[in-house]
Amino acid sequence: MFTIGAFAIIFDGARRVLLCHRRDIDMWNLPGGGMESGELPTEAVIREVKEETGLNVTIERLVGVYGKPDRDDVVFTFTCDITGGQLTETDESDACRYFAPDDIPLNTNPKQVERIYDAIESSNQPVFKLQEGPASREWLPVQRKHAAHLQKIFEIRAQIKDTHPLLEHVFPVAIVENDQFLIFDVDPSGKRYTFVKQAPTPMPVPPGVRAAFPLECYCGKPACVVTDDVFDTLDGYVTIFHEFVHCYQYQTCEDRLKATLSVARQAQATNDFMWEITYPFPYDAPDFVATYATFLEAAARGQHNAIRDCRAQLRTLLRPGDFEYMIWQEWKEGFARFIENRIQQDLGLAENHGGAEPPFSRVTFYEGGARLIASQPEMAADIEALFHWIKEVE
């Protein structure tokens, strides 16, 4: 059945917003509710505020009209001024409190948080937008289960924020559970994750997954994809930041850089979307093993002349496509490993040097790239320029 709701945004003198804690469910809401037959939205919001808070209000302005197509619902949201009454518990609310916008409780539906920020940030012109996402009763148990774990991402970021400018950015986190993505994104405060969408995974996802890729079900946004055991250890959180590096690469320059590589263009032409993992690189070729082992040692010692000699040898002995594949992995995964190890240092954890010893594999390029970047860490400031530097070092 089609419904219409009306909700109030009431600020106090300190620009804190009034929220009501519902009696029927452990959630904070803006005061408001459904229109009754014969009411205007303005009349409905005045009545609902009185019923839920005990306050008398007048309408200041229309903030926005929000469509919820999945629920066949339209919501009018107004800012309101208090004219009388007394804030009190009611039959519908067991508490009413004012909160700073960046301190809104985690058990507040993200649709309502979005409306609050629309009131703060918009001009006097109302907004008209669709709001999709789980209904409150579906949203709350998922939010309650994961919110504290996700909040720790911000706590750790505060400790490591000086490691690299990209750590100013956080990205969506998709937790895989029962072949479903539980997608969390940052709310408008920039300080909290909130559950925004559930969608089936497009393919079976292995247990313990740690990955980053654009989610077709979430408008193609890059996301960190994990299972919830990632939250069990501090090393797991470092892995999340490793995957955020890949999200940042994708968002800023990955496609543009990939287009410069013939190996990537050929893979795209044949719809080989797994080429970065399955490329048949000659890891066991004796000349390559000897030269790359020497390069790893030189990079670890910061021996720049030896590094250049090894890179020149690698360019000569590898086929062009193999060389391109190597530098791509050194940039993409090596840079992520470099940032990961910097974070490990900041947190007092052991660094990751997997892949440094034969038999070599794709992971060897994670270590090679990380060591190459660490030999001249100033190059890491601009990740696009870093790619071209890795490509040309010799």
The whole-number pLDDT of residue 269 equals 96
Percent of the chain with pLDDT over 70: 100
pLDDT 10s digits, 138-187: 999 999 999 999 999 999 999 999 999 999 999 999 999 999 999 999 99
Nearest to 353 by CA among 335, 339, 374, 337: 337
DSSP per position, 119-155: HHHS-SSPEEEE--S--HHHHHHHHHHHHHHHHHHHH
Which helix (H) or strand (E) element contains residue 255?
helix 254-258
CB 130 within 8 A of CB 73: no
pLDDT 10s digits, 91-138: 889 999 999 999 999 999 999 999 999 999 877 889 999 998 898 999
The whole-number pLDDT of residue 186 equals 96
pLDDT 10s digits, 357-368: 999 999 999 999
- Band the pLDDT of 302: cuts 50, 70, 90: very high
- Band the pLDDT of 2: cuts 50, 70, 90: confident
Whether residue 371 is predicted with pLDDT greater than 90 in this model: the reply is: yes
The whole-number pLDDT of residue 393 equals 87
Higher pLDDT pick, 394 / 116: 116
Whether residue 72 is predicted with pLDDT greater than 90 in this model: the reply is: no
- Band the pLDDT of 1: cuts 50, 70, 90: confident
Query: CA-CA distance, 304 to 393, in Å (whole number)?
Result: 10
The whole-number pLDDT of residue 123 equals 74
Give the mean pLDDT of the chain: 96
Mean pLDDT confidence for 221-238: 98
Dihedral of CA atoms 160, 164, 168, 173 in degrees, nearest 10, equals -80
Mean pLDDT confidence for 308-327: 97
Nearest to 48 by CA among 6, 12, 20, 85: 6
Mean pLDDT confidence for 181-198: 95
Rounded (to 5) percent helix, strand, coil in the chain: 45, 25, 30
Mean pLDDT confidence for 252-271: 96
Percent of the chain with pLDDT over 90: 93
Higher pLDDT pick, 78 / 1: 78
CB 24 within 8 A of CB 94: no
The whole-number pLDDT of residue 70 equals 73
Whether residue 224 is predicted with pLDDT greater than 90 in this model: the reply is: yes
Q: How many CB atoms lie within 10 A of CB 367?
A: 26
The whole-number pLDDT of residue 200 equals 97
pLDDT 10s digits, 331-359: 999 999 999 999 999 999 999 999 999 99
Q: How many CB atoms lie within 10 A of CB 54?
A: 16
pLDDT 10s digits, 268-296: 999 999 999 999 999 999 999 999 999 99
The whole-number pLDDT of residue 122 equals 73
Lowest-pLDDT range of 23-32, 63-72, 98-107, 139-148: 63-72
- Band the pLDDT of 74: cuts 50, 70, 90: very high
Q: What are phi and psi of 176, to 5 degrees?
A: -90, 125
Q: Say if residue 200 is preceded by a cis peptide, omega within 30 of 0.
A: no
Q: Is the pTM of this model over 0.95?
A: no
Burial of 387 (0-12, 13-18, 19+ CB in 10 A): buried
CATH number for the domain running over 3-130:
3.90.79.10
Residue spans per domain, the chain: 3-130, 136-248, 255-392
Mean pLDDT confidence for 314-336: 98
Query: CA-CA distance, 265 to 176, in Å (whole number)?
Result: 31
Query: CA-CA distance, 310 to 115, in Å (whole number)?
Result: 57
Find tokens 């937008």 and name the residue: 129
Dihedral of CA atoms 153, 154, 156, 158 in degrees, nearest 10, equals 160
